[in-house]
Amino acid sequence: MAKKELYEQKTEALLLPMMEEHQVELVDVEFVKEAGTWFLRAYIDKPGGITIDDCEVISRALSDRMDEEDFIEEAYILEVSSPGLGRPLKKDKDLERSLGESVDVKLFRAMDRQKEFTGILKAWDKDTVTLEFEEEAELVIERSNIALIRLAFDF
């Protein structure tokens, strides 16, 4: 396992008890390098949305635990935030929570000469995602062909 995945996995394990204690959901953890600086990011959410206070409480608790465990060799910046509006739907639980919502899907290979679709997430399983469009048409997309699926911006 690559260091990046190991760091993300260990951080997730530290976060899960905090999520339960503070009644928030862990959406994702990522360890990424941007402009020469490493960032350890935890994205959290809860019904009604996350507040700055929620982020601060989790950030302080996680920072203390990360100092105790000290398993990341590189210097990094810790960030705890909401996943935001156009967040990617990476895991099955993300898809489950987003059923009935409007989503944007970008494909690796075009279907019907198109690589981007916006529709209602109607169904999903381990191999496919089904979108529904206003004309009551449906499109079944192989998950292996999905480069990105995220909540659509609805202005």
> pLDDT tens for residues 30-80?
999 999 999 999 999 888 888 999 999 999 999 999 999 999 999 999 999
Residue 86 lies in a domain: no
- Are residues 98 and 149 in contact, defined by beta-carbon separation less than 8 angstroms? no
As given in the structure block, the two tokens for residue 53 are 């206070």
Packing angle of the helix pair 3-22, 52-69 (nearest 10 deg): 130
Query: Using 50, 70 and 90 to split pLDDT, how confident is the model at 98?
Result: confident
Boundary of a domain, candidates 81, 102, 131: 81
Boundary of a domain, candidates 40, 59, 81: 81
Report pLDDT for 94.
Answer: 84
Give residue 34's domain range: 3-81
CA–CA separation, 85 and 87 (whole Å): 6
Q: Given a cut of 60, is residue 155 above it in pLDDT?
A: no
Residue 68 lies in a domain: yes
Q: What is the CATH number of the domain that holds 114?
A: 2.30.30.100
42 and 71 share one domain: yes
Residue 108 lies in a domain: yes
7 and 71 share one domain: yes
CA angle 80, 84, 89 (to 5 degrees): 100
Average pLDDT, the chain: 91
Report pLDDT for 154.
Answer: 63
For 129, counting Cβ atoms within 10 Å of its Cβ (0-12 exposed, 13-18 middle, 19+ buried), the class is buried
Boundary of a domain, candidates 54, 81, 108: 81
CA–CA separation, 61 and 74 (whole Å): 20
58 and 105 share one domain: no
Q: What is the CATH number of the domain that holds 48?
A: 3.30.300.70
Residue 33 lies in a domain: yes
Number of domains present in the structure of the chain: 2
